[in-house]
């Protein structure tokens, strides 16, 4: 069916593919933009094999049409799917995932559909790449043909490398399936075209100044507030929680009084951070660019739903401050592209090598970029002959993401504010550069306002106050439990019966970083916390952590009893070490007191989790 080029229904990706003469569709399930970026790169790369692809957001497509892909000769669906949180699909994949999960071949027969999946996950999390795996399996069950093995990217190691390795094998397999030569042409192409606006030609009110979506939304605030329309919350409190030492942890209170934003204890608040202006100035200098030049980047592919990489028109200064991640480790494809912008052979070869998929290149990338934590500014400083046009750099850099924080207050006590407890990221790299976390560095500068929105979570207190709870949250992992404890205190003050409330928390030294110690001791005195266990890891010869306290005889017995009484278990904080160690301790406790094998203990905890009685709120 040769539909006219512009005559198609936007939600019908099949008619769009037919109208635009595409035979590959790349779907992405993306939360932070990486999966979307990979999808875009794959659809651009298809051109190198003479194939025509388009990337699509499944949320904007009628995904039931997938079966009709078989009607397009030599077609292929590629999926780049991130696993999020506790093994969940990303927001934009939710609908498709729910549909796919529950349907059988009678409802969706994918016979004749070619596909392959690249999953994006993080090995520190329990449900590593669960979504990629599930979708890959389900598509096959529904009759689709897997043309290349499932790729598993690990964000804890080097996801870029995993992706490169995967696509290196995927393309030849795809070419073979689609009947084209696997000989790639070495063409580079731009996805966006630069339009420079004459100074004064765009009135200031028409230039984006950090808005996420609607022009002027930060100046003229209108509810409802969400990820695309954040609320500018006044920071009414910003104080240091540590009483000494050189690390910093801040308590912030954000005023949401006029916003109509509602939250529950256990929800997250997302903050849109701003890059440091000194770093942006430095970047402007290195690029020899006028940061206040107004410009737009317009997608050269008119058919793409994404017209610009970030809100345009804007200025370079705004793009670097608000829209682009200039402090992450540059990806290998960016380094590869940078190699075009130098005449210095040594610099060129170095960039090319790091951008290549060779063992030598990977090792150099690991040393020079990852271990040395060089961001784009450091790369351009250290390879000072490299002068990319600023607009091309803007196209290549990933979007700056919102940072999430577990809300450290209860709406019962604080309906008009959300509290945040944030550990300030601050370290010196091996090349002697001081790095401050984008968001927490900004918090340390005492901003007057922050653009925020609330994201609902599954991390909830039990419905009945009487249900006993065990909470494990060392360091900033204590944050959501502060909300939980405020809520339990509120219930107690109302004369309601409140069940056992057990808290395991921890820090390094009682005198330095025992955060919220006065509140905790007061809750203990009042009986709001029935068992307070604090691990001071460095106050004695050997290190003591929360999992050691859990294992102590009396404590472990109590944990088992509470679980058997229908109690809820919560863990919050560092995903990498703590959450694993706590899980291991819990398994041991169930094994010991429940007289179970390790496997039975794991099944027991799995059941708790399925019933919503074991919840984790962890991050890496």
C-alpha to C-alpha distance for 233 and 343, rounded to whole angstroms: 48
Question: Does residue 485 sit in helix, strand or coil?
Answer: helix
Q: What is the DSSP letter of 324?
A: B
Residues 6+ apart with CB under 8 A from 550: 472, 504, 533, 556, 559, 582, 585, 586, 589
Mutual angle of helices 553-564 and 578-593, in 10-degree steps? 80
User: Which residue in 339, 572, 574, 581 is the catalytic one?
Assistant: 572
Is 394 labeled as catalytic in the residue annotation?
no
Tokens of 88: 């969940």
Spatial distance between the Cα atoms of 328 and 129, rounded to a whole number of angstroms: 22
Joined tokens for residue 519? 């509140």
What is the closest distance, in whole angstroms, from the C-beta atom of residue 249 to ligand FAD in the complex?
A: 7
Provide the minimum distance between the beta carbon of 457 and ligand FAD in the complex, in angstroms, as a whole number.
7
Query: To the nearest 10°, the Cα dihedral for 457, 459, 465, 471?
Result: -150
572 classed as catalytic: yes
Question: Token pair for residue 174?
Answer: 């795809």
Evaluate the omega torsion of the peptide bond into residue 381 and state whether it is cis, within 30 degrees of 0: no
Residue where the block lists tokens 């990303």: 90
- The whole-angstrom separation of Cα 166 and Cα 539 is 47
- In the complex, least distance from residue 595 CB atom to ligand FAD, rounded to whole angstroms: 36
3-state secondary structure of 441: helix
Whole-number minimum distance, CB 482 to ligand FAD, in Å?
10
d(CA 376, CA 331) in angstroms, rounded, equals: 10
Question: At which residue do the structure tokens 């060779």 appear?
Answer: 358
Q: How far is CA 555 from CA 502, 514, 549, 614, in A?
A: 10, 21, 7, 18
Nearer to ligand FAD, 132 or 437 (CB): 437
Q: Does 277 qualify as catalytic in the annotation?
A: no
Nearer residue to ligand FAD within complex by CB, 18 or 417 = 417
Q: Where are the beta strands (DSSP E) in 14-113?
A: 24-29, 53-56, 76-84, 88-89
Segment holding 120, helix H or strand E? strand 114-121
Within 10 angstroms of residue 554's Cβ, the number of other Cβ atoms is 8
Q: How far is the CB of 33 from ligand FAD (least distance, A)?
A: 14
Of the residues 43, 259, 339, 406, only one is catalytic, namely 406
Residue nearest to ligand FAD (CB): 437
Catalytic residue among 171, 368, 523, 619: 619
Q: Please state the closest distance from residue 598 (CB atom) to ligand FAD, in A.
A: 29
Active site residue 217: no
- Residue 404 or 490 with smaller CB distance to ligand FAD: 404
E strand residue ranges, 211-293:
231-240, 249-255, 268-271
The Cα–Cα gap between 434 and 425 comes to: 11
Shortest Cβ distance from residue 442 to ligand FAD (Å)? 8
Please give, one letter per residue, the 3-state secondary structure of 195-218: EECCCCCCCHHHCCCCCCCCCCCC
CB of 459 to ligand FAD, least distance (A): 9
Residues that bind ligand FAD (CB under 6 A): 268, 273, 327, 373, 403-406, 421-423, 425, 427, 437-441, 476, 479, 619
Catalytic residues: 406, 572, 617, 619
């Amino acid at each position: 069916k040769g539909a006219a080029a512009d005559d198609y229904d936007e939600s019908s990706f099949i008619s769009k593919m037919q109208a635009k003469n595409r035979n590959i569709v790349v779907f992405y399930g993306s939360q932070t933009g990486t999966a979307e970026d990979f999808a875009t790169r794959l659809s651009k790369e298809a051109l190198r094999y003479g194939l025509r692809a388009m990337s699509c957001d499944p949320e904007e497509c009628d995904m039931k049409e997938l079966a009709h892909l078989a009607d397009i000769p030599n077609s292929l669906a590629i999926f780049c799917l991130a696993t999020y949180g506790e093994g969940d699909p990303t927001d934009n994949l939710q609908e498709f995932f729910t549909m796919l999960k529950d349907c059988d071949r009678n409802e969706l027969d994918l016979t004749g559909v070619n596909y392959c999946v690249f999953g994006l996950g993080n090995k520190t999390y329990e449900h590593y790449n669960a979504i990629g795996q599930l979708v890959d399996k389900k598509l096959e069950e529904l009759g689709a043909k897997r043309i290349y093995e499932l790729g598993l990217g690990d964000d804890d190691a080097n996801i870029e490398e995993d992706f490169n390795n995967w696509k290196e094998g995927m393309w030849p397999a795809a070419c073979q399936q689609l009947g084209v030569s696997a000989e790639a042409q070495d063409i580079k192409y731009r996805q966006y075209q630069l339009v420079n606006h004459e100074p004064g030609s765009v009135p200031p009110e028409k230039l984006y100044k950090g808005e996420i979506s609607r022009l002027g939304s930060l100046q003229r605030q209108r509810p409802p507030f969400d990820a695309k329309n954040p609320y500018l919350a006044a920071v009414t409190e910003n104080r240091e929680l540590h009483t000494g030492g050189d690390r910093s942890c801040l308590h912030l209170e954000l005023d949401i009084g006029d916003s109509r934003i509602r939250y529950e204890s256990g929800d997250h608040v997302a903050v849109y951070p701003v890059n440091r202006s000194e770093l942006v100035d430095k970047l402007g200098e290195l690029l020899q660019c006028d940061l206040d030049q107004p410009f737009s980047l317009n997608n050269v592919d008119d058919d793409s739903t994404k017209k610009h990489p970030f809100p345009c028109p804007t200025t370079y200064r705004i793009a670097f401050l608000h829209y682009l991640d200039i402090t992450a480790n540059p990806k290998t494809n960016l380094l590869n592209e940078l190699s075009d912008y130098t005449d210095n052979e040594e610099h060129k070869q170095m960039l090319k090598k790091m951008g290549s998929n060779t063992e030598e290149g990977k090792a150099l990338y690991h040393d020079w970029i990852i271990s040395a934590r060089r961001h784009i500014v450091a790369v351009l400083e250290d390879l000072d002959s490299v002068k990319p046009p600023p607009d091309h750099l803007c196209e290549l850099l990933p979007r700056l993401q919102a940072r999430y924080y577990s809300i450290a207050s209860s709406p019962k006590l604080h309906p008009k504010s959300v509290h945040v407890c944030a550990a300030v990221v601050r370290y010196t790299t091996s090349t002697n550069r001081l790095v401050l976390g984008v968001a927490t560095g900004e918090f340390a500068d005492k901003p007057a306002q922050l653009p925020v929105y609330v994201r609902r979570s599954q991390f909830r207190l039990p419905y009945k106050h009487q249900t006993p709870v065990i909470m494990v949250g060392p360091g900033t992992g204590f944050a959501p439990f502060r909300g939980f404890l405020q809520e339990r205190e509120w219930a107690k003050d109302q004369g309601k019966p409140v069940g056992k409330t057990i808290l395991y928390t921890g820090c390094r030294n009682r005198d330095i970083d025992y955060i919220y110690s006065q509140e905790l001791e007061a809750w203990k005195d009042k009986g709001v916390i029935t068992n307070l266990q604090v691990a001071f890891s460095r106050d004695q010869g050997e290190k003591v952590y929360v999992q050691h306290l859990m294992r102590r005889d009396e404590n472990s017995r109590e944990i088992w009893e509470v679980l058997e009484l229908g109690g809820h278990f919560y863990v919050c904080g560092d995903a990498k070490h703590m959450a694993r160690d706590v899980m291991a301790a819990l398994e041991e406790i169930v094994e010991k007191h429940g007289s179970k094998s390790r496997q039975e203990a794991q099944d027991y905890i799995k059941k708790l989790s399925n019933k919503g009685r074991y919840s984790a709120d962890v991050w890496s």
